[in-house]
Amino acid sequence: MIRRVSLDLAGLPPTPDEVQAFLDDSSPNAYEKVVDRLLASPRYGERMAFRWMEAARYGDTNGYQTDGVRDMWRWRDWVIDAFNSNMPFDQFTIEQLAGDLLPGATLNQRIATAFHRNHRTSAEGGIVPEEFRVEYVADRVETTAAVWLGLTVGCARCHDHKYDPIQQKEYYQLFAYFNNVPEKGLVYNFGNEEPYIKAPTADQQRRLAELDQNISNAKRKWKALEPQLAEV
């Protein structure tokens, strides 16, 4: 029992010590304590994020031709942190679809929108850039529908179908929403493509703040010395 719940919630088997602790615990809520421990573990967020990353077509490469590298781990870590902090699903949704549009959007909320920068991108020299730019937008439409609506809407890209709940007009209404990203169809072979933002980690932000403070202090000291230097 403990092995199964450990695999389900943390993606890892229990250690021999954890198994023994469970067997030695004769309290009526022994199983509940195991569950609480697993939910409090950072491994829980990693386990839950795994499936979400699959749905979001996450990758550390661009997915086409030479399959050049891209850095998307800041979004991956955002997802892990969201699960570990028990973020409400409505907020989880809003921040990934439109975090950058929230009033006073934080850096983390802007990073969340990288959900829709996980799509494949092409660096092949012979492509028609506008064709692939449109493909990227269509990818966002169809991924959003699959993940949040549980629907395949690809047919509506070309025509109405009497058995589909989404009409072609509705498909392109959603398409128009995602058609405002200022990106190019032809991207770099390696590295992230524009538009992108600087996304320092929390530790890096603290270090940057320290350096900014050091610079401010140095400027203040220099300004205090200026009258003396003028007299020399």
pLDDT digits (tens, 9 = 90+) for 190-208: 878 888 888 999 899 999 9
Give the pLDDT of residue 79.
97
Looking at the fold, whether 141 and 99 belong to one and the same domain comes out as yes
Are 137 and 178 in contact, with CB atoms under 8 Å apart? yes
Looking at the fold, whether 184 and 118 belong to one and the same domain comes out as yes
Total domain count, the chain: 3
Looking at the fold, whether 169 and 150 belong to one and the same domain comes out as yes
- Residues of the chain falling short of pLDDT 50: none
Looking at the fold, whether 71 and 147 belong to one and the same domain comes out as yes
Looking at the fold, whether 20 and 130 belong to one and the same domain comes out as no
Predicted confidence (pLDDT) per residue in 46-75, tens digit: 999 999 999 999 988 888 877 888 889 999
Nearest by Cα to 179 from 215, 136, 145, 223: 136
Nearest by Cα to 184 from 139, 132, 120: 132
Look up residue 146 and give its DSSP letter. Answer: I
Looking at the fold, whether 131 and 214 belong to one and the same domain comes out as no
Looking at the fold, whether 213 and 113 belong to one and the same domain comes out as no
61: β partners: 69
Looking at the fold, whether 146 and 58 belong to one and the same domain comes out as yes
Give the pLDDT of residue 231.
76
Looking at the fold, whether 58 and 2 belong to one and the same domain comes out as no
- Taking the alpha carbons at both ends of the chain, their separation in whole angstroms is 82
d(CA 9, CA 144): 26
Domain with 148 in it? 49-199
Looking at the fold, whether 133 and 225 belong to one and the same domain comes out as no
In order of 105, 109, 117, 178, 232, the CA distances from 76 in angstroms are 19, 13, 12, 21, 58
HSE at residue 164, side-chain half, CA atoms within 13 A, is 20
Phi, psi of 126 (to 5 degrees): -95, 5
Bond preceding residue 14 cis, omega within 30 of 0: no
Predicted confidence (pLDDT) per residue in 156-166, tens digit: 999 998 888 89
Looking at the fold, whether 35 and 101 belong to one and the same domain comes out as no
Give the pLDDT of residue 123.
87
Are 177 and 145 in contact, with CB atoms under 8 Å apart? no
- pTM greater than the 0.95 cutoff: no
The total of other beta-carbon atoms located within 10 Å of residue 104's CB is: 5
In order of 69, 95, 219, the CA distances from 120 in angstroms are 11, 21, 46
Give the pLDDT of residue 108.
95
Looking at the fold, whether 93 and 171 belong to one and the same domain comes out as yes
